[in-house]
Amino acid sequence: MIPHHAPTAPANPPAAGESPVPAALPRVALVGVHGFGERHLSNLARLAAAGVLDLVAVADPHPPEAGTLGNSVGVFDSLDQLLASESAPDVIILATPIQTHAPLALAALAAGADVYVEKPPVASMAQFQEVLAAAEASGRRVQVGFQSLGSLALPAMRASIESGDIGDVLGLSATGMWLRTKGYFKRSRWAGKRSLDGTDVVDGVATNALAHAVATGLHMAGAHTIADVASVETDLYRAHNTQSDDTSVIRVRTAAGQTLLCALTLCAPEQQHPSVTVHGTRGDITFYYTQDDVRTTTPAGERRETFGRTDLLENLLAARTAGEPLLCALADTGAFTAVLEAIRTAPDPLEISPDYTTWHGDGDNAHPVVNGIPELIARAAKAQATFAELSVPWARSLPPARTFAVDGKPVAGYQDGSRIRASCSPRPYLHPVSTLGGTVVTDHQPLDHVWHLGAGVALQDVAGVNFWGGRTYTREAGGYVWRPDHGSIVRTGEGIPGEPSQGDPSPGGGELTESLSWNGPDGAPLLTEQRTWTWAGVGPSLWRLTLDFALSPAGNRPVSLGSPGSNGREGGGYGGFFWRLPACSGARVWTPAGAGEAEVHGSVTPWLAWSGSFTAGPAEGGSDPGSAAGVGTVAGAATLVFVPAADSTDPWFVRVDGYPGVGQSLAWDEPVIARPGAPVHRTVSVYIADGILSTEDIQTLTTSQGDDS
């Protein structure tokens, strides 16, 4: 919008009866008239026609076409030539290649001009500090062209969040899925470059193409200056033949304790509107910044609103005459520059294997699509996890804390849970777990429940603390609600206290005994746990994994162990041992007494089997974590047989249709009490076989292994 403010009074007011002298219009020059500079030319023409400014000069080695500019506009080859002329601009707009922003801004400031510089403002933190110091020394203003920060949606969203519309803020995510062709990276020498002729460029999906997503997300997270940023983590990849990243995750933790997860790609199947979402305990608020649209989703329904936008050049002009604050001052892009600096100093982006990309189009119009990228972007945002942490097959491998092997073959990765976000209740777990033939039979952080973590132990209600992750089911609410009640399970030692570690009992398997502490949100321990994993080969295509755990109060008082079922949700007695399976076709679940989810869920039987055909990974967007532990990643049929202790009365918890998962219910419809000196103790074994086993095979197996009751 055009600002309405009083003109600057002349130095010598006219005497009574004399005509007032009109205030001089600000003299504006544009450096760089092609590319995004063409948009500036259009905007300058609009504002000049409205009598807001006077375009006095442009500079570009390739001048605009004849007739584009008025006869009064000077045309120069460079900013140096422009400044050497008598143009004397009050404001200089820089719409030039990234690597030229800092030196041109310094020259403009030295000439006494205010500066409007396109994003990113600079190509390094050192340049940022130099330009900022020059601006402060000269007393001039520097506005950065993150146009989304001029949206009137931002103050409206801030007011909505502060009023409690979406409850307490859990975190923020910025997502962008665009596509760029080969021709896009041929448009200039610097496109797709991290550096050019030894000079930093730092082009890339997060620093240039979708930089507005990052900048807007930081703004909404309250991170403006360098001091507002506690840490930046980068996970950079590319499918194009470039230096720079085109598919990446950036995770920013702010000094105020917020987390912003940016999941961005230029290799999407189709162009979509990028957005920034604030996730709350009562709902979400999403800003589609290219459209100035806001969508608020709460239990009351969905509300959509569209807002106007203040032009950043007009805002700069208003700051000069009326003292209005800049909407995107250089100092307030310090947080963004911290992100840029982390990307600049990060290792070169890892090439995404062609096995996981599909090219569309021909010649310069050809563009790559990363297979399954929409779901991977969604998972990363929801879990606040990097592609590497999600164990995407083309991502960097993050070795597990330990690898379990049978006869020299890796079969399971032990994860310590340190990379899991707080609202997912961080805890140790096994993932990936595979058959001896290499078929992965666990999943972690799936899109439907990002707090499901492979195979392990979790409970939703330990004296009111959630050690399962996600929302908590309460009897009072009669449903699931977000609460700041998430605990964490951390290792405190290995081996049984007072006894030597058992180590690996045989070359064909191994044993891991560990001490764990179940800590509440305040870090205070509620439970202590002794957990033992044992694993061993049973046959050429079969191995056994056994979990034994005992939960004791950390203090001298009893501790209640509950579930949604014990809190009133019928059939929702999950908690205790739980195994999240990946998607599989032809899934069949059965026990000696029946088959199908309806028959086996809630039953108490001596064994439960699950069989199906498991895929090798996310060719269509699923997860394939095998490489993280050196575990094989072949597709194939497999059978898992879950066998409880002979005296177990715990019902099976089974899901097939909604998601694939199996657990032993520790507290089906009543809480279980852990008392001092009387721990809650459970044991379960899982046989993991290549191929489809029959009921007769399972009966023979469990009988021969001494597991049949």
- In order of 6, 68, 82, the CA distances from 65 in angstroms are 36, 6, 18
Q: CB under 8 Å to 317, separation ≥6 — which residues? A: 3, 26, 52, 53, 91
Low-confidence residues in the chain, pLDDT < 50: 1-21, 498-505, 617-629, 632, 708-709
Can you spell out the DSSP letters for 46-92? HHHHTTS-EEEEEE-SSPPPTTSS-TTSEEESSHHHHHHTT---SEE
Residue where a domain terminates, one of 148, 170, 192: 148
What secondary structure letter does DSSP report for 440? Answer: B
Q: Which two tokens stand for residue 27?
A: 């003299």
Beta strands in 356-398 (DSSP E): 357-360, 367-370
Task: Determine contact, residues 285/295, Cβ cutoff 8 Å.
Answer: yes
Query: For 573-620, how does the pLDDT look when each residue is reduced to its tens digit (9 = 90+)?
Result: 999 999 999 999 999 999 999 999 999 999 999 999 999 999 754 433
**Angle between helices 211-220 and 334-345 in degrees, nearest 10:** 130
pLDDT confidence of residue 497? 55
C-alpha distances out from residue 398 to 238, 414, 589, Å: 18, 12, 32
In a domain, 633, yes or no: yes
Whether residue 587 lies inside any domain: the answer is: yes
For tokens 């947080």, the residue is 335
d(Cα 482, Cα 149) in Å, to the nearest integer? 30
38-62 pLDDT, tens digit per residue, is 999 999 999 999 999 999 999 999 9
Residue whose tokens read 């896009």? 184
User: Domain for residue 354, yes or no?
Assistant: yes
Report d(CA 421, CA 257) in Å as an integer.
13
Residues 480 and 537 both lie in one domain: yes
Q: Quick one: 219 and 232 in the same domain?
A: yes
Domain end point (choices 148, 168, 201): 148
- For residues 63 and 99, membership in a common domain is answered with yes
Among 90, 124, 148, where does a domain finish?
148
Is residue 341 domain-shared with residue 467, that is, in the same domain? Answer: no
> Is 260 part of a structural domain of the chain?
yes
List for the chain the helix, strand, coil content (%; round to 5).
20, 35, 45
Q: Examine the domain organization and report whether 363 and 485 are in the same domain.
A: no
C-alpha to C-alpha distances, 286 to 5, 221, 252, 264, nearest whole angstrom: 33, 13, 18, 16
661 assigned to some structural domain = no
The separation between the first and the last C-alpha atoms of the chain, rounded to the nearest angstrom, is 78
* 123 & 154 share domain: no
Do both 358 and 435 map to the same domain? no
Q: Are 332 and 225 in contact (CB under 8 A)?
A: yes
Tokens representing 67 are 């007739």
Domain CATH for 72: 3.40.50.720
**Predicted pLDDT of residue 4:** 30
* Together in a domain, 142 and 269: no
Q: How far is CA 410 from the centre of its chain?
A: 29
| 388 contact partners, CB below 8 Å, separation of at least 6 | 235, 395, 396, 397, 398
User: Are 508 and 552 in the same domain?
Assistant: yes
Provide the pLDDT for residue 219: 98
Query: How far is residue 398's CA from residue 611's CA, in Å, rounded to a whole number?
Result: 29
How high is the pLDDT of residue 626?
39
Residues 132 and 159 in one domain: no
pLDDT at 65: 86
Together in a domain, 104 and 162: no
Do strands 509-519 and 488-494 pair parallel, antiparallel, or not at all (unpaired)? Answer: antiparallel
3-state SS, 278-312, equals EEECCCEEEEECCCCEEEEEECCEEEEEECCECCH
Distances (CA, A) of 290 to 94, 146, 213, 262, 519: 22, 11, 10, 16, 43
Q: How far apart, in whole angstroms, are the C-alpha atoms of residue 496 and residue 504?
A: 14
Considering the domain boundaries, does residue 8 fall inside one? no
DSSP string, 83-110: HHTT---SEEEE-S-GGGHHHHHHHHHH
Strand pairing report for 114-117 and 91-94: parallel
Based on the fold, state whether residues 35 and 159 are members of the same structural domain. no
CATH code for the domain of 194: 3.30.360.10
252 is in which domain, residue-wise? 150-308+337-381
The pLDDT tens digits for 505-514 are: 455 899 999 9
Q: Is residue 559 part of a domain?
A: yes
Domain count across the chain:
3
In a domain, 443, yes or no: yes
